Chains A and B, each alone.
Chain A
Amino acid sequence: MILEKDVVIIGAGPAGLAAAVELAKNGVKDIVVIEREPFAGGILNQCIHDGFGVIKFNEVLTGPEYAQRYIDEAEKLGVEIMTSSMAIDINRDKEVTVIGSKGIIVFKAKAVILAMGCRERTRGAIGIPGTRPAGIFTAGVAQNFVNVKNIMIGKRIVILGSGDIGLIMARRLTLEGAEVIAVVEKMPYSNGLARNVTQCLEDYGIPLLLSHTVVNIEGRERLKSVTVAKVDDKGEPIRGTSKKFDCDTLILSVGLIPENELTKDAGIDMDEVTQGALVDENLQTSIEGVFACGNVLHVHDLVDHVSNEAEKAAKSVLRYLETKCENGQRVKVKAGKGIRYVIPHTISGKKDVTFSMRVDRQWTDIKLTFLNGSNPIKSFKYKKLNPSEMVVVNLKASELKDVESLEVAIDED
């Protein structure tokens, strides 16, 4: 069965929902959102803590409330969300194959928005030595068990990695009655937001061991202990500093990876650093009419930024459906000194552009400078920049006019 659609959106998390709502508000109603879970909302449904929406709505919402806002609006606008259905293939002709309770359906779309989000790095990705007992969870899985499935995961818990989900889970598990022995972080600074260190760790007296990592795991059936050691500035464990913690559970909060199997299979060009697609200023990928936004493009730290990016992708789709995007001269955007990556990867120089980027390490009292060749175009001052905090800046078309090669770099003077 082949069904024609104006737009197929893959994923009904915050990115997919915001894109769908923005399209429907602007009169594009022939949309379908494909969601493999039984409910729309994506990861927000298990993020029961508050702090979402401060930037976008100037309100403090919990994850489920933030999701509900978009779900309500999507319903009101008549957007079709196909839950319990999984997109298993996309091709260059923008045909999306979906498997669900009704069998296999192929949607032929004029435009596709990739909004599949990301998944967690696991123990395998960081190679912790030791046995393979039960009791080792990634933070998101732990969150799903505790907040959605009503399964308590342990009593004495060590958390490796100080990403926001790890910090949030330290508080959640403490409130649920578990003892969180420590949060262990390899870097000399926390990878989560400063406010989460305060309200999730300091509020409950949970130690944050910076420049430490887990060097051994013991236990046959269930985890019995982990060994933690201090690391040097290269991240190598220092002999003689190790300490054993008796615990039954280890939670890993060690990073997220955009979930791009569909994207790669479709032959879309990828960025090795972000592990997301290469996109232009319209958030269009290397296949015309296929756009990407949210955590599938690059991992964000705030959902408000995901929603904004998705709305931008939707606006590009609106223009694409009307006129197709102009494929004129493209200027490459280079991540220079101190910048790990920058989105978008190319610009036309004819439009206002929102740049999202991350720095490669902690920097203090610096300028973030955009350069045309070696000529500075514009600078932004920062007291402090952390790799864990995404930087978003806007440049006007007038500032980008006549740019021949664009570079963003940290300027120390």
Chain B
Amino acid sequence: MKIEKEMTCIVCPNGCRLEIIYEDTLTVKNALCPKGVEYARNELMNPVRYLTSTVRVSGGVLPLVSVRSNKPVPKDKLIEIVQFLKNIELKAPVHFHQLVCKDVLGTGADIVATRKVIKK
């Protein structure tokens, strides 16, 4: 089976327009750096994205703390994870890079806070 397609690399702001040919081996054209090749491979086999969202905080100066996954998660799990994170409520203070949820929905990725929220 031969796959030919174009895609925009999302690794950096350059946004290289990649040309991909896959037939036994993968050929990636127009990538300005090796990360583009890795991105194209992932997009074909198992598309992944970093997840960012927010989690509720009680007793803090802010009602929410921003969070991220510490590694990319499968693209088709993003909405499910964000909805799952709505069930979590942290108590202030929340520290910078505090662990919020380990191995979220079995993806192997941890959710960590990306800012601190001090007590009210």
Contacts and interface: CB of A to CB of B under 8 A. Distances in A.
Interface string A145-172: 0111110000000000000000000000
Interface in B64-112: 64, 66-68, 75, 78-79, 82-83, 96
Contact of B114 (A48, A146, A195): A48
Interface in A43-73: 45, 48-51, 54-55, 60, 62-65, 67-68
Given A147-B54, A174-B79, A50 B68 contact: yes
Contact of A302 (B8, B10, B13, B56): B13
Chain B interface main SS type: mixed
Contacts, number: 80
A149 B13 contact: no
Nearest to B53: A175
Interface string B36-66: 0000000000000110111010000111101
A221 interface: no
Contacts of A148: 62, 64
A147 B8 contact: no
A60 B50 contact: yes
B53 A198 contact: no
B3 interface: no
Contacts of A302: 13
A272 interface: no
A235 interface: no
A49 B13 contact: no
A157 to B, nearest CB: 16
Given A64-B115, A198-B7, A48 B15 contact: no
B28 interface: no
Interface residues of B, number: 31
A149 B8 CA distance: 33
B20 interface: no
A199 interface: yes
B7 A48 contact: no
Nearest to A151: B63
Contacts of B68: 48, 50, 62, 65
Contacts of A413: none
A197 interface: yes
B114 A65 contact: yes
Given A198-B10, A302-B13, A203 B75 contact: yes
Contacts of B53: 48, 175
Contacts of A203: 49, 75
A205 to B, nearest CB: 12
Nearest to A171: B78
B8 A45 contact: no
Given A62-B52, A67-B115, 14 more contacts: A45-B115, A48-B67, A54-B13, A64-B66, A64-B114, A68-B116, A148-B64, A149-B63, A174-B79, A175-B78, A175-B79, A195-B10, A199-B10, A301-B13
Interface of A: 38, 45, 48-51, 54-55, 60, 62-65, 67-68, 146-150, 174-177, 193-195, 197-199, 203, 301-302
Complex A-B, nearest 9 residue pairs according to Cβ-Cβ distance, in ascending order = A194-B15, A64-B115, A48-B66, A195-B10, A150-B63, A195-B15, A198-B8, A175-B82, A54-B12
Interface of B: 7-13, 15, 17, 49-50, 52-54, 56, 61-64, 66-68, 75, 78-79, 82-83, 96, 114-116
8 contacts: A48-B68, A64-B115, A68-B96, A68-B114, A146-B54, A149-B63, A194-B17, A195-B8
